Amino acid sequence: MALHKGHAGADSPEDSELRRLSLNPFYGAADPVSGMESAPPTHRLPDGPVPPMTAYRLVHDELMLDGNARLNLATFVTTWMEPQAGVLMAECRDKNMIDKDEYPRTAELERRCVAMLADLWNAPDPATAVGCSTTGSSEACMLAGMALKRSWAKRNADRYPGTARPNLVTGTNVQVCWEKFCNFWEVEARLVPMEGDRFHLDPQAAADLCDENTIGVVSVLGSTFDGSYEPVAEVCAALDALQERTGLDIPVHVDGASGGMVAPFIDEDLVWDFRLPRVKSINTSGHKYGLVYPGVGWALWRSPEDLPEELVFRVNYLGGDMPTFALNFSRPGAQVVAQYYTFLRLGREGYRAVQQTSRDIACALADRFEALDEFRLLTRGDQLPVFAVTTAPDVKSFDVFDVSRRLRERGWLVPAYSFPANREDLSVLRVVIRNGFSADLAELLMDDLKQLLPELRSQAHPLTKDTASASAFHH
């Protein structure tokens, strides 16, 4: 959640006339001049109420300045669902997900979703695999990291917390939630940098960073930087070899925020999940390629032994004894219900059709970018339906930040950003294709890009002075 500061001097007396004029007279409930003496302030609570339609119109009109979510090619988050899903969510928005005793059927739908995911991810025994819903993958990753740390601490009780400092090995491309986890839970982050045309975790480099204090290795199935899958099986193999040499048994967590709901359907031969014995936990975002509005995520563990029992709280809440493992307590049940609806609605074949369509559109759009002399592809959208593209070496008049800025003028949100160590020299555009982004919209995007290119070519030089502040990408 973003941190916000108040605005000094907002709603001062001299602004009152302008605030009065901010109200359309027709927003009056009956008489156009009734109650229109002044509009409510925006940075302090109003002295009294306004009619509901007046409040609605004030908020509605301001939100018109937001971007169009369907044209947002920066976000992985679902921006379209069927109307029936929206109705179900509206019917459940007052249900508190934590109150399983009062809403037992909602709790049962959550349990069924966990069982479905355990089966989808090839848990050895889906009936005994444990898991829970979360507000998103960020919370799911925090929970998985906590389980890794606690399991390691129990194995090293003679050294921790006295002399041992736990560490977690990841690629430098991981989502920012892993940086937060290491910061919040006092774990050393050991990051494998990018090198050359490798933009994600290298298996041997990850193994080389492990020692007796390593709580686990995180492998990402679908990097947010370029849409590529990390080689989970190869990471596990490198750690198997490490164990043979040293005796160190390092568990793996798969951050499948996006790929966990793509690979099972259209990359069925790819071995990345619980089929690998070293994979102890997996998370995914139901609100990304799980095809549900934000926010719902899922965290699953291979077996009950992989989730330390002492992390699970048993709460006597509203008359029921309830096990809970979460950072949040109260949260709406609507998204969990929507996830179950989507699982029922699509099934395996439906998900396969949706994800394959997104990949086909991504690959075709990547080919269109590649056909333009001004661009060079880094990835092609053939793993996640996501691709990254940079400007060709001989392009000197504009950069990816100029392209992003000019596309925004046409309503398209296409992020431009720089890569981390050791490829800070590389800046790219990233395009995320989701359900609801059609081939027709892709055609419109290319039409607008081609119209902008002559103006961009005519520039004397790129217009972006500070690429760090220009970046529209913050994971």
Please compute the mean of the pLDDT values over residues 240-257 and round it to a whole number: 98
Q: Give pLDDT, residue 52.
A: 83
Show the CA angle centred on residue 457, arms to residues 452 and 460, nearest 5°.
Answer: 125
Asked if 203 and 235 count as a contact pair (C-beta separation under 8 A), the reply is yes
Please compute the mean of the pLDDT values over residues 81-99 and round it to a whole number: 91
- Of 246, 177, 154, which Cα lies nearest the Cα of 208? 246
Q: Give pLDDT, residue 58.
A: 86
pLDDT, one tens digit per residue, over 266-319 is 999 999 999 999 999 999 999 999 999 999 999 999 999 999 999 988 766 555
Model confidence at 473: pLDDT above 60: no
Percent of the chain at pLDDT > 90 equals 74
- Of 244, 280, 287, 289, which Cα lies nearest the Cα of 262? 289
Asked if 203 and 167 count as a contact pair (C-beta separation under 8 A), the reply is no
Q: Give pLDDT, residue 23.
A: 65
Q: What is the separation, in whole angstroms, between the first and last Cα of the chain?
A: 13
Q: Give pLDDT, residue 475.
A: 43
Range with the lowest mean pLDDT among 41-55, 192-206, 449-463?
Answer: 41-55
Strand order in the sheet with 386-391: 375-377, 386-391, 427-432, 416-418
**Torsion, Cα of 418, 371, 199, 70 (10° steps):** 70
Sign of CA dihedral 51, 55, 60, 62: positive
Please compute the mean of the pLDDT values over residues 100-106 and round it to a whole number: 82
Q: Residue 411 CB: number of other CB atoms within 10 A?
A: 14
Percent of the chain at pLDDT > 70 equals 88
What is the rounded distance in angstroms from the CA atom of residue 337 to the CA atom of residue 92? 8
Q: How confident is the model at residue 336 (pLDDT cuts 50, 70, 90)?
A: very high
Q: Which of the pair, 51 or 183, is modelled with greater confidence?
A: 183
Three-state SS letters, the chain: CCCCCCCCCCCCHHHHHHHHHCCCHHHCCCCCCCCCCCCCCCCCCCCCCCCHHHHHHHHHHHHCCCCCHHHECCCCCCCCCCHHHHHHHHHHCCCECCCCCCCHHHHHHHHHHHHHHHHHCCCCCCCCCEEEEECCHHHHHHHHHHHHHHHHHHHCCCCCCCCCCCEEEEECCCCHHHHHHHHHCCCEEEEECCECCECCCCHHHHHHCCCCCEEEEEEEECCCCCCCECCHHHHHHHHHHHHHHHCCCCCEEEECCCHHHCHHHHCCCCCCCCCCCCEEEEEEECCCCCCCCCCCEEEEECCHHHCCHHHCEEEEECCEEEEECCCCCCCECHHHHHHHHHHHHHHHHHHHHHHHHHHHHHHHHHHHHHHCCCEEECCCCCCCCEEEEEECCCCCCCCHHHHHHHHHHCCCECCEEECCCCCCCCEEEEEECCCCCCHHHHHHHHHHHHHHHHHHHCCCCCCCCCHHHHCCCCC
Q: Give pLDDT, residue 317.
A: 55
Q: Give pLDDT, residue 11.
A: 58
Across all residues in the chain, what is the average pLDDT?
90
Model confidence at 54: pLDDT above 50: yes
pLDDT, one tens digit per residue, over 354-377 is 999 999 999 999 999 999 999 999
Q: Give pLDDT, residue 470.
A: 55
Model confidence at 197: pLDDT above 50: yes
Model confidence at 35: pLDDT above 80: no
Q: Give pLDDT, residue 129.
A: 86
Q: Which of the pair, 22 or 271, is modelled with greater confidence?
A: 271
Q: Give pLDDT, residue 472.
A: 47
Please compute the mean of the pLDDT values over residues 213-225 and round it to a whole number: 97
pLDDT, one tens digit per residue, over 143-193 is 999 999 999 999 999 998 888 999 999 999 999 999 999 999 999 999 999
pLDDT, one tens digit per residue, over 108-139 is 999 999 999 999 999 999 988 899 999 999 99
